[in-house]
Amino acid sequence: MTDVVITGIGQTPVGEHWELGLRDLAVAAIRDALKDAGGLKPQALFVGNMLAPNLSNQAHLGALIAEYAGLTGIEAMTVEASGASGGAALRQGYLAVASGMVDVALVVGVEKFTDKIGSDVEEATATENDADFESIHGMTITAQAALLMKRYMHENEIPENGFANFALTAHANGVANKNAAFQKAIKAETYAKAEMVSDPIKVFDMAPQLDGAAALVLTRRELIPSNGQSLLVKIAGSAASSDTLALHDRKDMLYFDAAQISAGKAMKQAGITLSQINFFEYHDIFSIYAALQLEAVGFAIKGKGWKLAADGEIGLKGKIPCATMGGMKARGFAGGASGVYQAVEAVTQLRGQAGANQIAGATYGLIQSLGGPASTAVSHILQKLDWSNPDSV
């Protein structure tokens, strides 16, 4: 199969963008990515979005965003898989380009959380749960993660603040990311003293829900213009998997099957093993999700994902650096944009442009985008193509 490459990346800072609407954010990221790609003309637009119909009373984002980006006429549609919408949009773009039916695809993830507040946001995010059998009982996305974390702590012996390093690492990595919502490291005591949200989840065990957009330009390698990016990143593996929507329908809710399946398929396609992955952008909207992803993907055995973090192995110099640009905790959780931010950040690492957060010699990055508690899991392996080394191209 021909190589699909990411030849343009763009992003807005993640934050409370009172002055910018859904379309403004998306267009800013798209223009950034198209400029980076050096003049490629997209033929299709895949929009990753989670909650615009609920949060912004706006559906039909494909046509809207294509129009405002000056691309009216191209094929354009939304891809929705809750929090995994960004990863799912990337996969649809990948499939379109890999199939040969589309030469250049534009993928944009966008979310506008802050037009609503409080119980309206809780109501909107709860739509990712089973409406008839979870949400009607007052279940929120945070409560769902809390139920998982409580059971995890019941079955595994975890010291007090055993999850702290997920937050500490993310916030330390956010310092050097100018697009991160929080660019300040936190101390262990700040984590420990934080307010309880839904026991055992405290403030720093969850990511802030904020506005943002990120974009990617995909094409096949042979179509790259001479003035395009010389630092190429290939999509070496792409896979998606689903699990039960409701947590209570799982055989073992403490194992993220879909995360395991999609990561395994993506690695198989890329022809690599775990030890070749230089960094992992996980979906750390909740610390417990990060721990369960480390276990499902295979970086830790069942029940020991928290330990990998506690031992410092997820830091930039650890065995498997995670959330290298701040992850969802520090960069911020911008809903359906999150999976696209992961790809943008991974490309930045693989191009060697991650500044103070650069992972030396990074060749392979795994990114994994989750919808709910891995009811959807989309995994991609991104690979640096080194033009100076013909064997790798």
Interface residues with another protein (CB under 8 A) are 118-120, 122-123, 126, 130, 132-140, 142-143, 146-148, 150-151, 154, 197-201, 246-249, 253
Residues 63 and 45: their CA atoms lie apart, in Å, by 9
- Return the sign of the alpha-carbon dihedral for residues 351, 357, 359, 365: negative
What's the min distance (Å) between Cβ of 303 and another protein?
Answer: 15
Output the smallest distance, CB 55 to another protein, in A. 13
Smallest distance, Å, CB 78 to another protein? Answer: 23
CB of 120: closest distance to another protein in angstroms? 6
Say if residues 336 and 80 touch (Cβ distance below 8 Å): yes
Residue in this structure with the two tokens 């989750």, named with its chain if needed: 370
- Closer Cβ to another protein, 138 or 361, answer by number: 138
- Among residues 130 and 281, whose Cβ is nearest to another protein? 130
Closest CA relative to residue 282, chosen from 83, 38, 44, 91:
83
Residue 95 C-beta: closest distance to another protein, Å = 28
> Among residues 61 and 254, whose Cβ is nearest to another protein?
254
Q: In this structure, is the dihedral angle defined by the CA atoms of residues 331, 332, 337 and 343, taken in order, positive or negative?
A: positive
Instruction: Take residue 184 and report the two structure tokens written for it.
Output: 């300040």
Q: How far is the CB of 112 from another protein (least distance, A)?
A: 18
- Unique residue bearing structure tokens 């937050």: 167
Secondary structure letter of residue 3 according to DSSP: P
Q: Which two tokens mark 166?
A: 């997920």
**What are the C-alpha distances in Å from 244 to residues 137, 176, 187, 349, 374?**
18, 38, 37, 33, 9
The nearer residue to another protein, 79 or 201, going by C-beta atoms, is 201
CB of 134 to another protein, least distance (A): 5
Q: ∠ CA 325-83-374 to the nearest 5 degrees?
A: 100
Taking the complex as a whole, the smallest distance from the CB of residue 129 to another protein amounts, in Å, to 9
Backbone angles phi, psi at 323, to 5 degrees: 45, 50
> Radius of gyration over alpha carbons of the chain, in Å?
19
User: 126: closest CA among 111, 116, 136?
Assistant: 136
Residue 235: both structure tokens together: 């999509």
Nearer to another protein, 130 or 313 (CB): 130
> Which CB atom, from 73 or from 118, has the smaller least distance to another protein?
118
For another protein, give the closer residue by CB, 42 or 372.
372
